Structure 1
Amino acid sequence: MSRCATVSRVLDEPIAGTAVHASTWLLLEQPGPWGPHALTSSRLDPALGRALEDAAEGSGVRIALIRRPGRHADHGAPPVRQVYAAHTVPGRGWVRGAVTSAPERLLDIDFAALGRGDHGTFDAALPDAAPHDGCPLAFVCTNGRRDRCCALLGRPLAAELAASGVAGTWEVTHLGGHRFSPTLLVLPHGYAYGRVDAPAVKEILHRAREGRVVTEHCRGRSAWARPGQAAELAVRARTRETSADALDVTEVRSVPTGEQDGVPPLWEVTVTHSGGRRWRVVVAQNAAGPPRPESCGAPLGSPARMDVIRVEEGTAEPAP
């Protein structure tokens, strides 16, 4: 059976508007093997993993495990772990880093506050926390126990980046969208990418260091839900705006479509520029065809795709 990433690539499936939605990321170092649900199927205490999942539920915080690229021999719990927290909303974003020998301290975080962008609760739980002012961080999904494409395509990419001296490279447990492997999350801005190779990642990180975003291979900014991601990338394509924080999604409104069968969900998204310009973007959710597996071993399906129907500047009138 063909790998899900191969099928998606052959079908030229669009990737804009496919990033996971998380206003804030919490990333905890956990070496060794990962299972399909890494917070509860790794060498991290599963009771702690479940408690963290429960604490983050509905908060806007997404938790993932990370490890350094390379071989993953099981040497037990590390004496000290790296932890990152990052808020990705334009104009209010930040990245904080800390090390800890007691990962249970993460349960002291007020996750609702962290999801709103309050890093004080992270700092209080991890007293040595400080701003991460260094190089951009690149997290490559490599969890083959969740999907084999992430291991077969992601692990070689992470290893190549690390071997070529790309600082800030980590492996991560899950970024969604296995069929777009290798997938990548870049902080501080929170843009996700798919179908990337090492030269592309180096260019993405170079631009991120300048506060800019590369739109090629971009799945969207995790700060927004999928309609907002697709709308923002459509405005960037139209305007050639590359400043990462120049655009914001300020409203996403569902457009009533009645009870007609076959009418796709529609959204009207308002995208604003820091200089005052505004765009109204109409986005439809359609089913991708022909059927394809959303992950390796899954039955054939028709995953949702975000299609931009219209982009109009300078108006916020309701869509017809």
Structure 2
Amino acid sequence: MTACSIAWEGLPAFGTATVAQFWVALEQPGPWGREALTESHLDPALGRAVGDEAAAAGGRVLLMRAPGHHAVEEGFASRRVFVAGGLAGDPWLLEGVALAPDAVLRLPWDDLAVGDRDAVLAACPWLRPARHPVLLVCTNSKRDVCCALRGRPVVQDVTARYPGQVWECSHTGGHRFAPTGVVLPLGQLLARLTPGLAAQVLDAAASGQLAAAALTPAHDRGRSHLPPAWQAAESWVRAEAGITDPAALWCEPDPEEHTVVVRHVDGRGWAVRVRPREGGPLPDSCGKAPKPSAWFAVEPRG
């Protein structure tokens, strides 16, 4: 059977980012099951509670582990944590070490939902502004084999050049685009990562920018704070105009069906048609039966 990410090669990734207004990444070494938050050596009650709280506030929690370090660790001990928010405006990233499970459970979810960095810092003195962006690459093999087979080589290649900035992570969605990842604090989800692209993404993010090489239908799944059609519209404009500033664009609804208006801070605007398209049957995950493939067709409104 053809691997799902091989079968999907050539199809666009625009508009496929997981929708999340903020991201929390919690370190958890050892193996992960299909549902990583409740199927790892993390207390499943804690994983379920943290995941539910984040989801209720419009965010997403991932597990992460250091590249190549999969030793089993029982109990909570101490865990590295990254928290990214403010995605629709001025994205920010916090990092810290949680010494007890209740530190993670007591994250101020409502403040995260509205991107209030100062309130998060006040509520969690164990967090501090991160010095560098991070790239989380999905390697959750129990969710999809492609993620591990294609994601781990990217992580292993890049991690030596960016110590502490590249982590394996649990399911980000879209394994048919493996290797997949999310760059924080920008909230951009990436498809078909390569070591070279991963390096460019981290270099650009260090200056608060999106990597120009990642703004293509092959690689840009979208920024997670937007709904799918708006993700696709914004990604199309960025690719056409070469706009790497994450804060330069915003989207507005348009009365015409399947149309999104993308505005630029300099006054420019684009009316973009975003239509769902369906193609031949393809597996969207390894081991699953093929079903009609789907993507967004994006073009300027004539």
Q: TM-score, normalised by structure 1?
A: 0.87
Aligned-CA RMSD value:
1.9
Match of 1:37 in 2: 35
Shift of 1:254: 7.7
Instruction: Determine the C-alpha separation between the residues in 2 that align with 1:154 and 1:47.
Output: 28
Match of 1:144 in 2: 141
Match of 1:226 in 2: 228
Number of residue pairs matched? 297
Instruction: Determine the C-alpha separation between the residues in 1 that align with 2:149 and 2:79.
Output: 26
| Residue of 55, 79, 101 corresponding to 2:77 | 79
Shift of 1:306: 1.4
Which deviates more from structure 2 when the two are superposed, residues 299-308 or residues 123-132? 123-132
Instruction: Determine the C-alpha separation between the residues in 2 that align with 1:29 and 1:254.
Output: 44
Q: TM-score, normalised by structure 2?
A: 0.91
Match of 2:245 in 1: 243
Match of 1:317 in 2: none
Shift of 1:225: 1.4
Which deviates more from structure 2 when the two are superposed, residues 151-160 or residues 115-124? 115-124
| Residue of 48, 51, 72 corresponding to 2:49 | 51
Q: 1:101 to 1:56 in 2, by over 3 A?
A: same
| Residue of 266, 271, 281 corresponding to 1:291 | 281
Shift of 1:160: 1.4
Report if the CA contact (8 A) 1:88-1:190 is conserved. Answer: no
Report if the CA contact (8 A) 1:140-1:154 is conserved. Answer: yes
Match of 1:191 in 2: 188
What percentage of residue pairs aligned between the two structures are identical? Answer: 40
- Whichever of the two has the greater Rg, that structure is 1
Shift of 1:53: 2.4
Report if the CA contact (8 A) 1:175-1:183 is conserved. Answer: yes
1:267 aligns with 2:267: no
Shift of 1:163: 3.2
Instruction: Determine the C-alpha separation between the residues in 2 that align with 1:210 and 1:51.
Output: 35
In structure 1, the gaps of 5 or more residues are 256-265, 313-320
SS in 2 for 1:57: helix
What is the identity, as a one-letter code, of the residue corresponding to 2:204? R
Instruction: Determine the C-alpha separation between the residues in 2 that align with 1:42 and 1:303.
Output: 32
SS in 2 for 1:302: strand
Match of 1:113 in 2: 111
SS in 2 for 1:282: strand
1:39-59 CA-to-partner distances (Å, cap 9, x unmatched) read 100111111112122222332
Instruction: Determine the C-alpha separation between the residues in 1 that align with 2:231 and 2:295.
Output: 12
Instruction: Determine the C-alpha separation between the residues in 1 that align with 2:5 and 2:140.
Output: 14
SS in 1 for 2:25: strand
Report if the CA contact (8 A) 1:100-1:126 is conserved. Answer: no
What is the identity, as a one-letter code, of the residue corresponding to 1:179? R
- Deviating 4+ runs (over 6 angstroms): none
| Residue of 289, 292, 297 corresponding to 1:307 | 297
1:149-177 CA-to-partner distances (Å, cap 9, x unmatched) read 01101112111111344540011101110
Match of 1:69 in 2: 67
What is the identity, as a one-letter code, of the residue corresponding to 2:248? A
Instruction: Determine the C-alpha separation between the residues in 1 that align with 2:89 and 2:301.
Output: 23
